[in-house]
């Protein structure tokens, strides 16, 4: 049991518990709205230069992993730097200190963001280990031994889990985990959004076009296109592994259309604030890319369901096209530096 002590329940007033599409931007939205800054989820994602791609495979993984965003918490740091937010980040290997860090913010009237392993959360729909999950904690009840969280809309938005399960999720070790990371944000009196659009877009485009290794950015998508046809041999159980990979891509948003949809919507919103032919072109190309990623996930799922190789071959062709479209989009967007 966590060392949360005893006493009355604590529930932060005025918390908007809307669940978003992506965990990190959902949590950031909760914290920022409570602090007086209400931006769309797409705007938070774009200003945080959140779009990326990684093809990740290793001996300890049951199956390869597609990632469609920057690594966990990089988006939060990017957003804080872009908007001048005061980001208070705390990490510890002590369970007692971990709880104290979170409870201190709540007792002070502020919700707090937590990075943890979603596998341990009782309400979570897909009980797989993911150490880069982020939630907003806005209250706790020692008598009921419950924690009050905001997660994505898919997971239920405003949800609860036991304090024990929350402690286990925060203490988990493994890929993408942090040492019981908690964070709060403070918003400056003046926040410049329009002025930060172009730097955020060009930074994201530059990283995507010039990745340091072949697993990342457009090179990662090209690598995935080459390797996906061999997934029947890579899978321990293709009937299970391929549909599960497709489900994670498209429903959990690891490497399907979700982040492309968010970036498309961000570029549309940015276009309404900063008129540019390149920006409009980037928006149109990311709308096309999002459709391709939905198609890719469907083809991978169909390959697992039928055992037919041609579905993986078609997914490979679609991945090649997605790499081309995204490379063209980012090529247009990286030139925004002159605006």
pLDDT tens-digit series, residues 279-301: 999 999 999 999 999 999 999 99
State whether 326 and 250 are in the same domain: yes
Residue 3 has pLDDT above 50, yes or no: no
Residue 338 has pLDDT above 70, yes or no: no
Could you identify the residue written with the tokens 């041999």? Answer: 233
Q: For residues 62 and 26, give the distance between their C-alpha atoms in angstroms, rounded to a whole number.
A: 29
Q: Is the pLDDT higher at 1 or at 31?
A: 31
Domain boundary among 135, 162, 186: 186
pLDDT band at 248 (very low <50, low <70, confident <90, very high): confident
Share of the chain above pLDDT 70, in %: 97
Q: What is the pLDDT of residue 2?
A: 40
Residue 58 lies in a domain: no
Residue 179 lies in a domain: yes
Could you identify the residue written with the tokens 């990632």? Answer: 67
Residue 154 lies in a domain: yes
C-alpha distances out from residue 266 to 84, 94, 150, 192, Å: 20, 39, 23, 16
Tally the domains of the chain: 2
Domain boundary among 161, 186, 211: 186
Per-residue pLDDT tens digits for 63-88: 999 999 999 999 999 999 999 999 99
The mean pLDDT of 219-246, rounded to a whole number, is 97
State whether 179 and 213 are in the same domain: no
Residue 206 lies in a domain: yes
Q: What is the pLDDT of residue 126?
A: 74
Q: Is the pLDDT higher at 86 or at 62?
A: 86
Rounded to the nearest integer, the mean pLDDT of the chain is 95
- From start to end of the chain, where are the E strands? 10-11, 51-56, 65-69, 86-90, 112-116, 133-141, 146-150, 158-162, 182-186
Q: Is the pLDDT higher at 252 or at 248?
A: 248
* CATH assignment of the domain containing 16: 3.90.70.10
State whether 298 and 267 are in the same domain: yes
Per-residue pLDDT tens digits for 121-164: 999 977 788 999 999 999 999 999 999 999 999 999 999 999 99
State whether 269 and 308 are in the same domain: yes
Q: For residues 29 and 31, give the distance between their C-alpha atoms in angstroms, rounded to a whole number.
A: 6
The pTM is what? 0.95
Query: What domain range is 24 assigned to?
Result: 10-52+72-186
pLDDT band at 323 (very low <50, low <70, confident <90, very high): very high
Residue 5 has pLDDT above 70, yes or no: no
Residue 61 lies in a domain: no
Per-residue pLDDT tens digits for 153-177: 999 999 999 999 999 999 999 989 9
State whether 179 and 207 are in the same domain: no
């Amino acid at each position: 049991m966590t060392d949360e002590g005893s006493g009355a329940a604590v529930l932060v007033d005025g918390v908007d518990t809307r669940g978003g599409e992506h965990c990190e931007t959902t949590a950031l939205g909760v914290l920022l709205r409570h602090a007086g800054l209400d931006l769309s989820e797409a705007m938070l994602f774009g200003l945080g230069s959140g779009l990326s791609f990684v093809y990740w495979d290793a001996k300890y993984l049951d199956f390869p992993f597609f990632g469609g965003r920057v690594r966990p918490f990089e988006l939060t740091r990017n957003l804080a730097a872009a908007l001048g937010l005061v980001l208070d980040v705390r990490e510890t290997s002590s369970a007692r200190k971990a709880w104290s860090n979170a409870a201190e913010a709540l007792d002070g009237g502020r919700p707090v963001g937590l990075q943890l392993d979603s596998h341990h959360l009782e309400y979570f729909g897909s009980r797989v280990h993911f150490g880069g999950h982020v939630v907003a904690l806005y209250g706790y009840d020692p008598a009921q031994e419950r924690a009050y969280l905001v997660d994505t809309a898919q997971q239920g938005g405003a949800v609860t889990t036991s304090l024990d399960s929350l402690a286990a999720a925060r203490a988990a070790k493994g890929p993408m985990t942090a040492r019981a990371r908690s964070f709060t944000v403070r918003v400056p009196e003046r926040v410049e959004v329009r002025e930060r659009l172009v730097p955020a877009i060009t930074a994201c485009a530059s990283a995507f076009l010039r990745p340091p290794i072949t697993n990342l950015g457009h090179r990662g998508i090209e690598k995935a296109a080459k390797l996906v046809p061999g997934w029947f041999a890579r899978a321990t159980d293709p009937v299970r592994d391929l549909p599960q990979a497709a489900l994670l891509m498209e429903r959990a948003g690891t490497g399907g259309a979700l982040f492309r949809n968010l970036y498309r919507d961000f570029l549309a919103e940015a276009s309404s604030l900063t008129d540019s032919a390149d920006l409009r072109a980037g928006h149109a190309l990311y709308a096309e890319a999002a459709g391709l990623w939905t198609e890719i996930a469907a083809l991978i799922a169909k390959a697992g369901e039928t055992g037919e190789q041609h579905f993986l071959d078609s997914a490979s062709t679609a991945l090649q096209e997605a790499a081309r479209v995204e490379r063209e989009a980012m090529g247009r967007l990286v030139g925004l530096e002159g605006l």
